[in-house]
Structure 1
Amino acid sequence: MESESKQVMKQRKKQLEVLDILKEALTILVKNTNFIIFAFLTSLPLLFLMIHFETLFQQILVDTPRIVKHILLQFNTKLYGGFIYEHVIILTDDDATIHLDQDYYTVTSFSSKDYLPNLIQLVFMYLVPLHVLELGSAALTVYVSSKLKSEEGRLSLKQMFLESFDASTMKGTFITSLYLLSMSSGILLAAAWTVSNSYILYMTFGCYIVFALICFAALTKLLMVYLEWSAIWNMSIVISVMDGIHGAGALRVSFFLSSGNQKRGLYLMLVFFALGVCFRVPCIFLGCYKGGSGIFVQVGLFFLVNTLKWVSCMIYFSDCKERKLEKKIIDDVEVGKDLQSGS
């Protein structure tokens, strides 16, 4: 057993850092053109849906601040017979039309009748079709990329299609995803609640810097928790695909393998979150949701980032698993030494 421990120590590789994981994932993508084609073809339904989803999502993001301001203006008008604008209460008659800054405060020109139906449609798309299509794309990407990594060779496009579709694996992975969907939805609802209340506090008490600091701290903490848990949740999907462990069992294994690697998982997810923001924010400012080719470019970039993310999650899982196995062998050797010395 001691010789086995020495052999493990000799063969032990350095722990992969975030940049190492990203570099290895990029290498898999660049060296395997067939894999890119396979990922693109199997993601086509997802890409078409993402175009509609992103258009609707960006429109909701733009409309939400206006809706909140609209509600606050109406509330102040009914409560005080006027509303606060730059710390001055302006009185209005009951039948008077409110006209202020044409960009934000012209209530009569702003129509919100489509906001709620669009929001309901967006939530339904996220929970049902988008979730299922993202899961299928992720499972196929993880499986084929793991084959490419383990075999260290090329697979033909035909082999990828023939060997990747496994009904039992898809079913088990879907069960795991339902656990994750419920937990991630809870975090997203908490984030939406925090953002809404932060915005209302800012609109009401914007002159006080303490409220801005509290809101920023709350959102930052919530984001860090979400990203750290995202690494665990994504690893559980990889575990379902590669090891056939599903549901709560996959989550338990993922928590075990993630112990001691929380920061690494957090930073890895932070990279992809930052890339998503960098691609989405310019698109919102340029008004890509209004039409044109901008939204197609954004979705295409999202496809590349999403593929890279799942390949990186597969590599991250493999590295965490390898470290745990090495640690177990070394611990077993140490226990054996203690028993021998005790006897």
Structure 2
Amino acid sequence: MEIESNMIIKNDKLEAFDILKKAFTISATNIKFLIFTILTSLPLFCFLVYYEPFLQRFILEISEILRPSKDDYFGYLSSRPFQLSIPSLPTDMTTKLNNEFPGGLVQIALLYLIPLHLLELSTVLVIVDLASKTYTTQEEEEPPLTLMEMVHKPFDVTRVLGTLVTFVYVVIMSSSSLLGLVWLAVIYYVVTMFFYDVLVIMWCWVGFVGLLTLYLGWIAALNMSVVISILEGRYGTKAIALAICYSVGNEWRGFRLMLVFFAWEVGLRLPCIYFGCKGTWSVGILTQIGFFCLGNVVKWVVFTIYFYDCKNREIERKMMMKAKKRAVESG
């Protein structure tokens, strides 16, 4: 059977914890890899110094609009004690959202879709390439890569442009899914705030958790498609289709991996929002951004290893099917 990758790693099947452990080992113990990734992440870090305070200030403003006063809240509940229908927002809240929410959302969307993702792509290209070289070297028990070997193979124009095409597909699909999930979370928040019915609230949260699970599993496959573009030379819909093929049977592992980084990103933002960093360039914000960039490095190392493991499993499955077919044909 023809092997389509530049290198197939012969290793045992890895679970989510094993993949995370290997990724942390590569990120923490390889000094050359760490230095390269830190230097590569500097432009992203500088942009996040502006973007994160802006985003957190926007979230604080929206949350304050959606949070009613105690008098309005209890008055609203007393006027609709057990009515089984989704209530409409109070007039003043609706007016504030219409006046302040669209403008801020457009600014966030422009910053999120263009400069943030372009800077992230520049880091992903280097991280995935170096992670692949380092990981394959370790698994094949070869001597560690030298500084020259790490940067020996430059990025050609076709590779960069092809990966950019895949990345655009991924950003569009992931952003659309995230926007729908955020909008649903806002609706559920409003329902739980104004709809005093335990059963309805419970069903809202069950539905949200279910959709969040599907979203994280889908993002895991999309992240793998970016890795495929960088390492395999397949771009656009072909890379996404191949990633979905490799993800079949591995959805639960992909979900658990993405859940770790989703919790990492949310957990980093919550303290500043809760304690009121108020969008200033404080030590807390800078520390959060530093850990965010570190998590971004580990995430793409994880999905590089996850890609190799999924591909090995798929090749093994095809080889077993081919062996069974030969056994049946031979009688």
The TM-score, its normalising length taken from structure 2, stands at 0.84
Residues 35 and 157 of structure 1 are in contact (CA less than 8 Å); yes or no, is this contact kept in structure 2?
no
Mapped partners of 1:151, 1:232: distance in 2: 25
- Give unpaired runs (5+ residues) of structure 1: 2-10, 74-82, 91-105
2:42 is aligned with 1:44: yes
Mapped partners of 2:128, 2:275: distance in 1: 34
SS in 2 for 1:245: coil
Which of 178, 201, 211 is matched with 1:188 structurally? 178
Question: How many equivalent pairs are there?
Answer: 303
Which of 167, 174, 198 is matched with 1:177 structurally? 167
TM superposition shift of 1:14: 3.2
Distance change (3 Å), C-alpha of 1:159 and 1:167: farther
Residues 240 and 246 of structure 1 are in contact (CA less than 8 Å); yes or no, is this contact kept in structure 2?
yes
2:222 is aligned with 1:233: yes
The equivalent of 2:75 in structure 1 is 87
Distance change (3 Å), C-alpha of 1:158 and 1:295: farther
Instruction: Note the aligned Cα RMSD (angstroms).
Output: 2.7
SS in 1 for 2:234: coil
TM superposition shift of 1:287: 2.4
Mapped partners of 2:34, 2:191: distance in 1: 46
Mapped partners of 1:54, 1:192: distance in 2: 17
Residues 137 and 145 of structure 2 are in contact (CA less than 8 Å); yes or no, is this contact kept in structure 1?
no
Q: Percent identity?
A: 36
Mapped partners of 1:85, 1:216: distance in 2: 21
Which of 147, 150, 155 is matched with 1:160 structurally? 150
Residues 236 and 250 of structure 1 are in contact (CA less than 8 Å); yes or no, is this contact kept in structure 2?
yes
Mapped partners of 2:125, 2:55: distance in 1: 25
- 1:305-320 map, 5 Å: 305-320=295-310
TM superposition shift of 1:220: 0.8
Distance change (3 Å), C-alpha of 1:114 and 1:193: closer
TM superposition shift of 1:111: 12
2:255 is aligned with 1:266: yes
The equivalent of 1:22 in structure 2 is 20
Distance change (3 Å), C-alpha of 1:88 and 1:67: closer
Mapped partners of 1:298, 1:162: distance in 2: 33
TM superposition shift of 1:159: 4.3
Which of 313, 327, 337 is matched with 2:317 structurally? 327
Residues 45 and 289 of structure 2 are in contact (CA less than 8 Å); yes or no, is this contact kept in structure 1?
yes
2:233 is aligned with 1:244: yes
Mapped partners of 1:218, 1:182: distance in 2: 24
Mapped partners of 2:124, 2:301: distance in 1: 9
SS in 1 for 2:324: helix
Residues 143 and 241 of structure 1 are in contact (CA less than 8 Å); yes or no, is this contact kept in structure 2?
yes
TM superposition shift of 1:285: 1.7
Distance change (3 Å), C-alpha of 1:214 and 1:60: farther
2:122 is aligned with 1:132: no
TM superposition shift of 1:127: 0.6
Residues 175 and 247 of structure 1 are in contact (CA less than 8 Å); yes or no, is this contact kept in structure 2?
yes
Moved more, 284-293 or 151-160: 151-160
Distance change (3 Å), C-alpha of 1:334 and 1:12: farther
Moved more, 274-283 or 285-294: 285-294
Distance change (3 Å), C-alpha of 1:287 and 1:177: same
Mapped partners of 1:124, 1:312: distance in 2: 28
Distance change (3 Å), C-alpha of 1:62 and 1:157: farther
Between Structure 1 and Structure 2, whose CA radius of gyration is higher?
Answer: 1
